[in-house]
Amino acid sequence: MSIDQNKFWKEINEKQLSPENIEANFENFKSSSINHKLALFNPEVNGVRYLKTVNFLLASTLSSAEIRLLGNTKNRDLGNPLCIQYKGMSACLDYLQAAKEVDFIQREITLENSSIIEIGAGYGRTCHTLLSNFDIEQYCIIDLPNALQLSRRYLSEVLGAPSFKKITFISVAEFDASKLGTFDLAINIDSFAEMDKEVVHEYLAFIDKHCTAFYAKNPVGKYYDQSLDGHSQGNEVIELALKQGVLTDILDIDNQSEVNEASKKFLLAYKPSAHWTVKADSWAVPFSYIWQSLFAKENGA
């Protein structure tokens, strides 16, 4: 009995797998249309597919504590995020990360009845997760005006009124350390790397004087790999990005050894002063070049 190829594979066989195409692309066939039909989804047109794959893989690593944190954080689907369903829960990359961030923090310090300041809160995923899981005394967000407008509206809708009233929103232009008092915890997630070095040092000096713990989650360095995004934002934006922050070494972010070595500089760069110690640090999944650390001020400092 002979088996005929169907029309779908007949076209693939004649086009992608033609002898001419294979010969012309053999040296790079695993990253070409040949392999995109045989084994690998083309990443250039399957970004959402890969994002959801990351979501699913990250969800599969959740501990029981992280699942509780996620489950307690209601209204996560506001804004139509790209989600998957895992163990009966809707899960997007933002809140999967938030659950892991908060669990990392809660394993090292007490969050109940604490006061928290977050520098650069985005739309408020971390604030939402913390206020949904702990009796936080006060939560202060420092951010750019338009970002504050988004986080204020988002948090007002996803949180109940009693929790929302605990939040103070302060524009960077209104930031005045002398008027803010003290906090049990300062948080910065993925924004110190995008600020001028002098601004980062100013915030670290504030944290040193006004806070007793500091959670930092940021890149360990810069990268210049055009294959990742095609440098779609243009060379000018790239050159500006390479100069921002306190860690500007360019590294291969897909090389674990380089990332681990760069993490040593991360711990030095984000330690507010000599009076602080590292309580915990680790790679912050899923992105290869992001590191996290919980710093604590020494007693009496």
The tokens describing 38, both together, are 């045989």
Q: Using CB atoms within 10 A of its CB, is residue 54 exposed (0-12), middle (13-18) or buried (19+)?
A: middle
What pLDDT is stored for residue 239 in this prediction? 82
What pLDDT is stored for residue 1 in this prediction? 55
What pLDDT is stored for residue 178 in this prediction? 87
What pLDDT is stored for residue 59 in this prediction? 98
- Half-sphere exposure for 120 (CA within 13 Å, toward CB): 15
State pLDDT tens for residues 185-222: 999 999 999 999 999 999 999 999 999 999 999 999 99
State pLDDT tens for residues 147-162: 999 999 999 999 999 9
Q: Measured between alpha carbons, how far is residue 224 from residues 231, 239, 242 in Å?
A: 9, 10, 8
Q: Measured between alpha carbons, how far is residue 155 from residues 64, 97, 139, 168 in Å?
A: 25, 18, 12, 11
- Token match 């809660």: residue? 106
State pLDDT tens for residues 118-142: 999 999 999 999 999 999 999 999 9
More confident residue, 4 or 121: 121
What pLDDT is stored for residue 301 in this prediction? 63
Q: Measured between alpha carbons, how far is residue 247 from residues 32, 195, 238, 289 in Å?
A: 34, 11, 15, 12
Whether the CB-CB separation of 141 and 167 falls below 8 Å is answered with: yes
> How far apart (Å, rounded) are the C-alpha atoms in residues 287 and 291?
9
What pLDDT is stored for residue 78 in this prediction? 98
What pLDDT is stored for residue 246 in this prediction? 96
> How far apart (Å, rounded) are the C-alpha atoms in residues 272 and 192?
13
Band of residue 233 on the pLDDT scale cut at 50, 70, 90: confident
> How far apart (Å, rounded) are the C-alpha atoms in residues 235 and 275?
40
Question: Going by C-beta distance under 8 Å and a sequence separation of 6 or more, which residues neighbour residue 276?
Answer: 208, 214, 295, 296, 297, 298, 301
Q: Measuring CA to CA, which residue among 122, 114, 248 is closest to residue 185? A: 114
Band of residue 10 on the pLDDT scale cut at 50, 70, 90: confident
Band of residue 240 on the pLDDT scale cut at 50, 70, 90: confident
* DSSP 3-state of 247: coil
Whether the CB-CB separation of 294 and 252 falls below 8 Å is answered with: no
Whether the CB-CB separation of 115 and 184 falls below 8 Å is answered with: yes
State pLDDT tens for residues 94-108: 999 999 999 999 999
Mean pLDDT for the chain overall: 94
Can you list the alpha helix ranges (DSSP code H) found in 175-255? 197-210, 226-229, 235-243
> How far apart (Å, rounded) are the C-alpha atoms in residues 244 and 43?
28
Which uninterrupted H or E stretch holds 95? helix 93-106
> How far apart (Å, rounded) are the C-alpha atoms in residues 128 and 75?
10
State pLDDT tens for residues 241-262: 789 999 999 999 999 999 999 9
The tokens describing 62, both together, are 């959740």
What pLDDT is stored for residue 2 in this prediction? 66
The tokens describing 216, both together, are 């930092």
High-pLDDT (> 70) share of the chain, %: 98
- Token match 């306190």: residue? 246
The tokens describing 257, both together, are 């050894």
Q: Measured between alpha carbons, how far is residue 152 from residues 75, 125, 174, 177 in Å?
A: 15, 12, 16, 21
In terms of residues, how long is the chain?
A: 301
Beta-carbon count within 10 A of 35 CB = 16
Q: Is the predicted pLDDT of residue 227 greater than 90, yes or no?
A: no
Mean pLDDT across the stretch 64-79? 98
Domains of the chain, first to last: 7-40 (no CATH), 94-297 (3.40.50.150)
Number of H helices, E strands in the chain: 13, 9
